[in-house]
Structure 1
Amino acid sequence: MSDLVEQIRATALSEGFAAMGIAPAVTSQGFHHLVQWIESGYAGSMDYLERRLDAYRHPSGVLEGTKSIVVLAMNYDAAIREPMPSNGGSEGLAFGKTARYTWSAIDYHDVIHPKLKRIVRMIREEIPDANARGIVDTAPLMEREVAVLAGLGWRGKNTLLLNKQLGSYFFLACVLVDVELPIDQPHETSHCGTCTACLDACPTDAFPSPGVLDASKCISYLTIENSELPEQSLRAGIGDWVFGCDVCQEVCPWNRRPSRTQHDPDGLRGHRDSANPLDVDDGWLELTSLFSMTDEEFRSQFRRTPFWRSRRRGMLRNAIVVLGNQKRLKAIELLFTTLKDADPELRAIAVWAICQMQDQAAFDRLLGYRHTETDPLVLAEFPE
């Protein structure tokens, strides 16, 4: 089997993966922590985790008879973020920050899945009776736990997998196989030491303790997974983030190493969609155009990008929060236009954003609008 492992490794490297390890398929040692995490309410509205909870116990919940797991890491852009674009000018354009993994402007699943399929096909050519399946963060598998078993790194205090050479700016992908492969040594030590930079820097205090994330407070959850309005107490912490967040990674010392960008022969940057209005050089998304887009136009523009997960409604909600935090007076007319939207949640967050502007004329105008509003969700956003 060692020859097969070398073939898998060679194929993985040729496909652009930066690291690979092999773990045994064993019962999850951290399963009870997942149960406690969900019971503590830290999963927010991600109830799909509880619905398929039992599948997380063992990799066989993903592929029956799994004996070995090939764990792979693929880098994404780790460039230093540039300051906010200053070219809004008289046009009044506004910009929001996006997480680095979006900078390719393409859905990473669309890039990685074909690579995994080629690895699976190669395995089946070598072992015709083998059953194999490639996954990228959508199956019920304790991926980071498995990655530690495969020797790819350790779990940081921000819960992300950390690797000495790669930092944490990478995707994890796995190929599950029902044959026994030679396994790698697990990574048994943590190299975070006494550092708490990630915990201290979180704008919404989403870490109740080291290694535990309260997803219901995490900016990535609030701007991507959450379908409701973020709590008022969390909105200021969202800051300029319109999709995702990198704060706990940006401050991590392991992400400051030059080696973090060395492995990307066929990575996501080579697949960038130039038609997407995301400036990949600095990771700022132009927000103003979202207000004039129809759902169909948004679909056409963003269907094959990470932003599609939030749909236009979610992105517009996020954009309004950002505009409120930026106190961008040139956006007031866009916000007042949103007060005519049929969606009460968008109207509600627009009321909040207008109140953040601290502009008396806008506030007086908003009070006039209040007499025409009947939805309690919207009315609750007006100050007493």
Structure 2
Amino acid sequence: MTATIRDAALPFTGGALTALLSPATRLLGLGEPTHGVEAFPELRNELFRHLVAHEGYRSIAVESDCLAALTVDAYVGDGTGTLDEALDRGFSHDFGAHPANRELLRWMRAWNARRPASERLRFYGCDGPLEITGAASPRAALTSLHDYLAAHLDPECDRARLDRLLGPDERWTRPAAMMDPGQSVGRSPEASELRLVADDLSALLAWQAPRLTAATSADAFWHAELHARTATGLLRYHAGMAHTAPTRIDTLLSVRDAMMADNLDAVVRREARRGPTLAFAHNRHLQRDESRMEFGGGSVRWWSAGALVSARLGEQYAFVASTFGSRGADVPHPDTLEGVLSSLPEARAVIDPGRLAAGLDRKLTPRVPADHTYFALDPTTTDQTEAIVFVKDVSEGDA
């Protein structure tokens, strides 16, 4: 290891990381290389506490169902419900079971309990109501949007028609539809008509924004926009599930990350006067370069939420990737990025990508991990990150 590479690293602290960011940053994306390893959400918690205390951040958005997250935000905001209820009902992907998420909510609630409403921390989900096994029914999003509008306006579609087109939720949530387009109702006549209805309701919401905001509140209108985005995104995702084209999975991943980008963009706009936002999701969802992965014997490609939001926000978006060295018997080869970083003395380090690239004396090869759920960093794209957070060793118990 050259002295230059050693100079590219500092022990991980919130201050060491933020020193590498532009002061214009409004959305900081912190990626994790895999789910289920507690070292990364624990690191996220530590960073968020620093950002709140020293950098003026007042919100966090995580890779979880954006509608379910309203339950979490109500708990951390004013103590609605209990911690266990927020963890059980407020997260998708079973993330509520992770100890670090329990600790995050407990800390946010304690912070908010001592402060006025205007200074309280907010919790957001940036993902759609999606799981690996499929997508939710659009019912909750569509009916919430319709009911908000109907309380003040006269939308063309009445509730009876909406219920008829939606039908039973079981039609929308069949797990088999994820891999079998024939099991999906996403391109049925009813679903196609619902897409037009959702578009009409969303347009009506936008056209009447001044009236509706005055009649309700800015927060109520923002939540109506959230339901509008989610309804149209879900219907688009269901249509993608029913598609038979070879690029079907590429489309689904693109739709999902577009929903995430729209949610993050909306969060940044809502939080503009309060402070920046920390986003926490998989590296593949937050990176600037094109995302790729192997699926079903082929390669799929899509633009991540980070790439999309970066195109909109420019220097106001910052991306910090994280990765790790050893995980039990899975030890990185010395010629990989993770192998080089494993030679650093720090257990957790913040890496300056520019200094790292200047200190390398050989071309690095991509790591091939033993665990297919872990995505190693591409050593050719480190210039598209503001920083890299490296954890030298994660225990098998974190898996």
Fold shared by both chains (TM-score > 0.5): no
- Report the TM-score, using the length of structure 1 for normalisation: 0.25
Q: Which has the higher contact order (CA 8 A, sep 6+)?
A: 2
Task: Pick the structure with more helix per residue.
Answer: 2
Pick the structure with more strand per residue: 2
TM-score, structure 2 length as denominator?
0.24
